[in-house]
Structure 1
């Protein structure tokens, strides 16, 4: 048994020496990252670049707002990760200090005398074992708490992103307003088309009337030519011809005036027709722009709905993870409570053993004291016996006196024997 205990102790010493040769330390990261917690986003290069692109006209306002929102979300995630990294570094430093303290305690425990393997040392080993288990449970609980905090941060980020998404009621309201505006534009275009149709009909009627008048003018011109020919042929009647010429010239002047008026009206009609056509083209372009904007809004609404569905699924997953983490935490709490109860039981057992040991030690002291008293009584009895023997030798050999003296000595011996037996019984009872 002693050889086996020494072998196990040697193996434990070798293990502790190896652990001391290869200590465990938390290595801090060497990358120098910028602290994002104290940075103003409005003065960041990303925001400045977005503003410059928007000012140059290369980036629309909606896209700029979307990119700003994404950058803000990423910045918040970076800040949260940096805070968690700082917390983890502090925890690593604290854990390294605890490991050094535990290594120091283990070294002290290893330097304890090897031959001293009592029940107290065994209970001490068990206590250290349960203490290590308790520390492991605390570490697992810390990891679970850290995981729970990270999940809560992700949940808050998802809620913020969800709040940034426009609500379906607002999108429906905007769509309804756009539909009403398109209906109004459609009505206006129909009215303008009717007006254009009426103007075209008026224009055609004016053109027909102008053609008719031009024909009449041509007929009059032909008639004038014929009259001139007749004047040439009939110079005999100049007065009549002069009158007819005056009539024809007056008719010609009137027809030219009518022609000028009709041309002016035709020009005005053409100008008004051109204005109406340009207005119709502008309205059609505006209608196309509105339709494109509605289609863009519809596509954006579909994208946002898909993102909303994804976020809802992610929220459900986070809730499930939170529920599992809560159940794990409850199990860990139960295990911790059981370990604390076991620790208290072992502590009570240790205190009871200590009290029993102290009681046995007191009983041992009493037994030693009684043994000393009994030894003193025995020495006194032996001395008395020697003295009596000497007295017997010194007494003259008278039978009557000798027999009486013998009886007295016999009585004294009996009394000493009874005292001795009583003392032995008391010692045996105390030892029991």
Structure 2
């Protein structure tokens, strides 16, 4: 596979271009020993001095080797060293300028991030004040457009950076070609240098093709930026109108206007920077055009074919992008309409529910006040009943104390009876002792009488005790009966009051349930209306979906037709590229033969001039002819010796060329392997990009759901605050 076919078939993206540039730089360093090694711009602090770099470079080492071998003179080596130093200094200055520009870009990016944070804080404030306003939605759309514009600017910056790198590499290669001019002494070396020049020219053509593709990408990006700027201006006009209406309705202070003016000024500054960047892009384009004009004669046919193919590809990509944008906008608008209608219905229903709840709370509060008054009356009644109960309790306590006193008196009589009994016993004992003295018979009779008296007294005492016990039991029973009756009365009264209270509460609950039933019926009617609206919108959505599917099928058919045309054009371009490669090979061969003929002609002309001068000298001095002939013979011998040495050198260089060709073949194999690896990585990157897009879509959906939930939470908080305010007002009333 020829390198020209590889150039036409594989067109790498930005990441692939960088990888291929690194591989090509490595190949050039290995193939051409006289190429200057560029210092690393990523580590400016750790770079050594220029003199050490120049002395340590492979180009200076090769020059020293050529000087030591005697192939190059000292003046030529000094010239080459001076030119290499100049190139090294220019490259270092370019790297310094590039670092400076990168620092400026970082600073601008930090400023942009700060502005984004300020805008987000202002948006959060505005959304917390009025979450569902149209101004916030337009602001969100504006921010989305800003983000897209920023992404386009970053892409444009990357393309410009790649263009600049390619242009610097081309200038560097051209300078090297100018420095490494073919000397008249070494014809074989000139052929090698011409081969290297042809390789470099092929690489330049490849880079120019890449530059052209990048320029076309930049033009498409600029067109996208212009369209986005127009859309932004339209959206700005809408936002200004909405903000004016909002200021008239809500009377927003002038601070918001000042902030908008500041933002406009910042935006104008950003636009000025964009203009400066566009001017730089135009300068780069002019430089690229100058480079293209130099090689225009060799690339006319190829440019025509590539322009046609790229135009078709751009049209296909533009059609696909427009289709995706239209579909996305249609889906977003449908979702926004559905959300607005749903939010509107929900808000209306919530408002009606709040009003009904307010009425319900007011009625409930009035009923609670009435119940409080009733409870106060019942409390007063209970207090009167309590006073009566306390009086009855005091009366019963007095009766109880009297009975207790009587009972305390009864045990005292028993003690006197016991004393009497003891005295009686003593008396009886005395009588017994007296009667014993009288007679034994009388003692027995007296004993019987005493026994009867004692039994009677004991029976009397037992009877009295039983009477006292019965009296105590009767008093306790009567007191308990009175307490039970009083308790039963209180319980019955409490049960009556509790039953009446429960009846009232049940009446109130029935009233509440009736009201809730009416409210639910109203809500059911509202929900039925909303369902009808949703069904109508669903039908409209289905119709729009059918229309979109029809348009999609038509666009897919058009895209297939365009793809077929692009494949046809691609095959034509490949055939033309092959013809061009063959023509270039023929041109290179003819240029080689032309250079050889010119060298021969110049040598012959020089010899002819010498012969003419010698003829004139011979006419003047015929005597010195013999000496001149001998001198010419000596010079001819020297020329023969030089010719033999040149033949040997040519053979040596031919062997070196064969070795270089083998190395180049190995490098081409390595390049093919790397290209296969790059294609695999590109497929992996495309899969990762698809996953990233899916994740971004999921994140956007989750953000949208979070925003909706935040709005619902804010509405709930507002409703809770209104309910608390209403409760406070009801309590005040």
What TM-score does the superposition give when structure 1 sets the normalisation length? 0.39
Q: Using CA pairs below 8 Å that are at least 6 residues apart, which structure has the higher relative contact order?
A: 2
What TM-score does the superposition give when structure 2 sets the normalisation length? 0.24
| Larger-Rg structure | 1
